[in-house]
Amino acid sequence: MDMTNNDIELIVKQVLASLSGDAPAAQPAKAAPAAAAGIPATAHVAMLTKKEHFDIQEYPIPELGDDDILVKVEGCGVCGTDGHEFARDPFGLIPVVLGHEGTGEIVKMGKNVKKDSAGKPLAIGDKVVTCMIFKDNPDITMFDLNKQNVGGADVYGLLPDDDKHLNGWFSDYLLVRGGSTIFNVSDLDLDSRILIEPCAVLIHAVERAKTTGILRFNSRVVIQGCGPIGLICIAVLRTMGTENIVAVDGNAKRLEVAKKMGACATVNFRDYQGVEALAGAVKDAFGGYLADFAFQCTGSPAGHSNVYKFIRNGGGLCELGFFINGGDATINPHFDICSKEITTVGSWVYTLRDYATTFDFLKRAKAIGLPLQELITHRFPLSEINEALAVNLRQEGLKIAVVNK
């Protein structure tokens, strides 16, 4: 070993100091962060290999690039889109690792990673969610006033399989590549983090509805469809101060949850024969008035056809139930739109700005006592993901989640 004069001088000083009793206390080696120290060589993913069947597969955890992040997955909600892909593969993605409502803990970062997409510092151990992966589209930006929704970008959980494999949140590790959006949400609990993605859908829908100028503080609002989307819609409206909300669904248990989320009245459509009788029930629930505004959340063409009958002349409608092609709806343009002068907006997923707003919504909902955590009715380990999707398709609960222990 070659030694310089400086090296020799340093050693001599240390020896002399030890002889005189003035030696500094030995310093322990700096330990690696606990999360980083425990990273395995391989990760497990739930690969959808054919319709209605996931295989748990194991792959090496790849080397990180300078702009990449490795996240240990803590949990991921099961979306209706996951159910559609599981049952029918409408997007032609098989083989694919699904799961886009996920969250987890950073365990490793590339040297260039310093901040999240909102400018908040990132560090190992932080809890995060992802939103979208950019496609060199300048219209998709955090603060662009000409906002564009996530439809112009990719998302983790809907990516075709590749040589990385860690592409979706139905896994125990996710590789977040450079060019992705990521948010530090360490101040939110696990249940809240699992609900961020579906809640962002409703933040976006309500923002779209507000552009009509009809949805206001004292509006009478009808929510048709009380799955997770409709129930979160009620919660978003309540956090904004809207109180006169009527929920419409055919499931009595879901209507009970609607009241917990803030609906002042509910209508079970199974109790009425024909749309005119159903519209009359909605009117009665509002004290003899039709709704000023409606959110159609069912994804059912028949539901879309019916909802116009619940809205007053000059009222508004936000249609957000159709996340995939659900078929054609039949309406009468004269009676349903023109003569009533209905203002209609469509809503599909969210923008980056809506995603960031969602974090504040979740805190506000908790502060006023809305039990959003009750929306997660089932939790399954990754090894039981086939059953988790089957429960989702049978509509046996509300939000189904895959949670890693």
Measure the CA–CA gap between 375 and 215, rounded to whole angstroms: 25
Closest by CA to 178, choosing from 17, 68, 43, 290, is 68
pLDDT tens for 34-92 read 345 689 999 999 999 999 999 999 999 999 999 999 999 999 999 999 999 999 999 89
pLDDT of amino acid 135 = 62
- The residues pairing with 160 across neighbouring beta strands, listed in sequence order, are 96
Beta bridge pairs of residue 246:
222, 265
Provide the residue ranges of all domains of the chain, joining segments of one domain with +: 42-195+375-403, 199-346
Strand partners, 401: 77, 379
Average of per-residue pLDDT values in the chain: 89
Q: Is cis: bond before 95, omega within 30 of 0? A: yes
Q: How far apart are CA 54 and CA 282, in angstroms?
A: 43
Q: What are phi and psi of 316, to 5 degrees?
A: -135, 160
| Tens of pLDDT, residues 15-28 | 334 434 443 333 33
* Exposure string over 292-323, b if 16+ CB within 10 A, otherwise e: bbbbbbbbbbebbbbbbbbbbeebbbbbbbbe
Instruction: Give the pLDDT band of residue 186 (cuts 50, 70, 90).
Output: very high
Give the angle subtended at the CA of 20 by the CAs of 18 and 23, to the nearest 5°.
40
Separation between Cα atoms, residue 390 and residue 66, nearest integer Å: 39
The residues pairing with 101 across neighbouring beta strands, listed in sequence order, are: 77
Spatial strand order in the sheet of 265-268:
265-268, 245-249, 221-224, 291-296, 311-319, 343-346
Could you confirm whether domain 199-346 is CATH 3.40.50.720?
A: yes
Name the region of 132 (left: φ>0; alpha: ψ -120 to 50; beta: rest): beta
The answer to whether 157 and 169 have CB atoms below 8 angstroms apart is yes
Across 229-251, average pLDDT: 97
CA dihedral 320, 322, 328, 331 (to 10 degrees): -10
**pLDDT at residue number 38:** 86
pLDDT at position 209: 97
The reply to whether 199-346 shares the fold of 42-195+375-403 is no
pLDDT given at position 144 = 55
Q: Which of 278, 254, 235 is nearest to 366 (CA)?
A: 235
Which helix (H) or strand (E) segment holds residue 275: the answer is: helix 275-285
Q: Which fold has domain 42-195+375-403?
A: Quinone Oxidoreductase; Chain A, domain 1 (3.90.180)
**6 has a pLDDT exceeding 70:** no
For tokens 């996710």, name the residue: 174
pLDDT tens per residue, range 263-303: 999 999 999 999 999 999 999 999 999 999 999 999 999 99
Q: At what angle do helices 196-210 and 352-367 cross, to 10 degrees?
A: 100
What is the pTM assigned to this prediction? 0.87
